[in-house]
Amino acid sequence: MRATSRGARTALVVDARRVPQPHAKAPAMSAPSAAVPGTRDAPALSMPPATVDVVLQVNGERRALSLDPRTTLLDCLRDQLQLTGSKKGCDHGQCGACTVHVDGRRVNACLCLAIALGGRKITSIEGLGTPDALHPMQAAFVAHDGYQCGYCTAGQIMSATALDAEGVGDDAASVREAMSGNLCRCGAYSGILAAVGEVRPACRVAKGGQ
């Protein structure tokens, strides 16, 4: 679920129950049931609950929600909480436009189920800075023209501000690799790299780090 480099993110999971077993005994044939699904004689179907209650910690606020269990964190942020800064690009973990932080680590919000994140600390771009008090990374993106249309920008900034927590180096190659899961269709990569390169060491010095 992490928005890391493209090569590391796709895992192919084979469900052993679906693989034909050569020595498996064939199930005994039984007479077809006369019950038609949905009729009174049919066995009761066990359906998932329509909604599940969950309490999320979003941008420092406690948000009690009742969600369809299939709701992704991205849809929850955008549709339930009206936090529309996180963008939906691919909805498949391929573009990074939806990147947010969970407990300080970046994730693709389109790949997370919201009900699985109860009690975790979720930060979206709205929790990073405000229009009147930009986070230094947001200000650097403005100063270095790190965007054109802006669709990928929230994800780029959330990714960039999580690099220290992942121990990513300051050199351009390390930053490029670590942020290769954040695509920019406008090709603003040189400005993005300049912004990230300027701000990360400066923030660390300001915080008394290395």
Phi-psi map region of 167: left, alpha, beta (phi>0 left; psi -120 to 50 alpha): left
Identify which of 60, 136, 64, 73 has the alpha carbon closest to the alpha carbon of residue 99: 73
DSSP track, 26-82: PPPP-PPP-PPTTSTTSPPP-PPPS-EEEEEEETTEEEEEEE-TT-BHHHIIIIIS-
Q: Any idea what the Cα angle at residue 131 is, between residues 128 and 91, rounded to 5°?
A: 55
The backbone torsions φ and ψ at residue 121, rounded to the nearest 5 degrees and listed phi first, read -90, 110
Find the part of the chain contacting ligand FES (CB under 6 A) among 6-14, 24-32, 126-134, 147-155: 147-155
Find the part of the chain contacting ligand FES (CB under 6 A) among 60-68, 121-129, 134-142, 185-193: 185-193
Residues 7-36 that bind ligand FES (CB under 6 A): none
Give the residue, chosen from 58, 97, 117, 157, that forms a contact with ligand FES under the rule CB under 6 A: 97
Give the residue, chosen from 52, 148, 176, 197, that forms a contact with ligand FES under the rule CB under 6 A: 148
> Is the Cβ of residue 94 or residue 180 nearer to ligand FES in the bound state?
94
6 part of the interface to ligand FES, by CB under 6 A: no
185 part of the interface to ligand FES, by CB under 6 A: yes
Give the residue, chosen from 4, 75, 77, 96, that forms a contact with ligand FES under the rule CB under 6 A: 96
Can you tell me whether residue 194 is helix, strand or coil? Answer: helix
Cα separation of 106 and 154, whole Å? 12
Cα separation of 29 and 25, whole Å? 12
Cα separation of 66 and 52, whole Å? 5
Cα separation of 80 and 158, whole Å? 21
Can you tell me whether residue 121 is helix, strand or coil? Answer: strand
CB of 99 to ligand FES, least distance (A): 7
Binding mask 104-123 for ligand FES (x = CB under 6 A): ----x-x-------------
93 part of the interface to ligand FES, by CB under 6 A: yes
Give the residue, chosen from 8, 35, 42, 90, that forms a contact with ligand FES under the rule CB under 6 A: 90
> Is the Cβ of residue 185 or residue 204 nearer to ligand FES in the bound state?
185
191 part of the interface to ligand FES, by CB under 6 A: no
91 part of the interface to ligand FES, by CB under 6 A: yes
Residues that bind ligand FES (CB under 6 A): 88-91, 93-98, 108, 110, 147-153, 184-186, 188
